[in-house]
Amino acid sequence: MPALRAFARTFYRNPADADDLVQETLIRALIHLDRYKDGTRLKSWLFTIMRNCFCTRYRLTKREAVGAVECVSLRESVQPDQEWHVRGHELEAACVRLPEIYRGAFEFVFIDGRSYEEAADHFHCPIGTIKSRVNRARRHLMSALS
């Protein structure tokens, strides 16, 4: 045991980690006792098991990289959206209060996603008139929502 502890200290400076490595080595040696061959030095066999245990642990810790990525538990599970719901209702109410001539052009272009040309054809007026109505609707909404 003292030789195993001394060898484990070459891998880990922390005594607790070194003791864990010694314990894992002894457990693996007991589990695989049937693989021990007569004539082999027990100390060499245990040192080989310890080195393999260390290499396995090292590969795992390198792959896992504990603390490298922000912990999932620190992130919010659902982004708060109450403010956007309130703002959405305010926008809806402000759109309803728009004069009908502006609201129709605004909804056709911005809500339906149509072009100014399509709006001009739909409302039977020049494109400049549609652009003017949409601009006035935006100004009314900006002043209403401040």
Average pLDDT score over residue span 125-138: 93
Sequence ranges of the domains in the chain:
2-62, 94-145
- Which tens digits make up the pLDDT trace of 69-117? 666 677 766 777 788 888 888 888 988 999 988 999 999 998 888 999 9
Asked if residue 66 has pLDDT above 70, the reply is: no
Q: Given its phi and psi angles, is residue 87 left (phi above 0), alpha (psi -120 to 50 degrees) or beta?
A: alpha
Task: Name the CATH architecture for the domain at 2-62.
Answer: Orthogonal Bundle (1.10)
Query: CATH topology for 94-145?
Result: Arc Repressor Mutant, subunit A (1.10.10)
CA angle centred on 8, ends 7 and 12, rounded to 5°: 130
Under the banding of pLDDT at 50, 70 and 90, the label for residue 68 is low
Dig out the tokens for 94 from the structure. Answer: 């402000």
Pick 32 or 64 by higher pLDDT: 32
Residue 30's CB is within 10 A of a number of other CB atoms, namely 8
Query: The whole model's pTM is what?
Result: 0.44
* Percent of the chain surpassing pLDDT 90: 49
Residues 6+ apart with CB under 8 A from 26: 4, 46
Three-state DSSP class for 136?
helix
- The tally of CA atoms less than 13 A away on the side-chain side of residue 73 is 1
Mean residue pLDDT across the chain: 87
